[in-house]
Amino acid sequence: MPRKQATNLSEIAEAALNHISRHGFKQTQMSDIAKAIGTSAGTLYLYVENKEALLALASASLLNPDELAASPLPFKAVARENLAHLFAETARRLATWPLLEQAIKDKTSDPERFKTVGYEMYDLLSANRRAIWFLDRLAAELPEFAPVQLTSVRGRTLGLLTDLLDATGKSSIPTHGLAVMARAAIETLAWSAMHRHREGLDAQPMDKLSEEAIRNLAAQAFAGTLQAALK
């Protein structure tokens, strides 16, 4: 492949985001990103100062994409603690569950209400799947990001669903058991809303199901899992 100048920071950010999400930050090198965009490592350093700056650039592309166009070159590194804080703040802003929180207040055990909660969660997971994949990978290997996943993203959602099951008063399962059922319900949605896209849609046994049909089935399965915890 002939060498070329990198088009812009957005192109580099896209390559870094993809590579880190799939292979992890520790396994990502500047040379990997240079190869992905068809340029030399020397040219890449004109745009991004080092590997830590790649992490900051990929994060910015998810959380503050508008700042890339005006950013001076080379793009500078940001302390991991600051990046983790930015992810936590973004998660608190985006991960709002009004239907779920209302269901907790109402102590609902109605399958149709469970299904509407499933739609709410499915849509947010689908819309933010790239950021979730990226944070999942970072949390698995960089200690600065693990608490974000635990408290602001997956852990918070799991806690709210467990609260919903507990609020109904219709289960004899202990709280830890309810958490297992809540986690199973989340994973049902996560594969349909997120992970099947990563695996490649052509490889999925979906035949000609529409996206809306998949969304409906996922919400139905989610509701069924919650309902099973109450029997």
Please report the pLDDT score of residue 67 as a whole number.
83
Mean pLDDT of the chain: 91
Q: Quote the pLDDT of residue 41.
A: 92
Confidence bin at 134 (pLDDT 50/70/90)? very high
Do 128 and 99 meet the contact criterion of CB atoms below 8 Å apart? Answer: no
Nearest to 104 by CA among 184, 160, 176: 160
Q: Nearest 5°: phi and psi at 179?
A: -65, -35
Domains in the chain, CATH or no CATH each: 9-78 (1.10.357.10), 84-228 (1.10.357)
- The confidence score (pLDDT) of residue 2 equals 46
Residue with tokens 């609260």: 163
Is 71 exposed, middle or buried (CB count within 10 Å of its CB: 0-12, 13-18, 19+)?
middle
pTM above 0.95, yes or no: no
Residue that has been written with the tokens 């890339």 in this structure: 68
Q: How far apart (Å, rounded) are the C-alpha atoms in residues 20 and 59?
A: 11
Distance of CA 198 to the CA centre of its chain: 12
Percent above pLDDT 70 for the chain: 93
As a whole number, mean pLDDT of residues 2-24 equals 84
Q: pLDDT tens digit string along 205-230? A: 666 789 999 999 999 999 999 999 99
Calculate the dihedral angle through the C-alpha atoms of 177, 215, 160, 105, rounding to the nearest 10 degrees.
-110
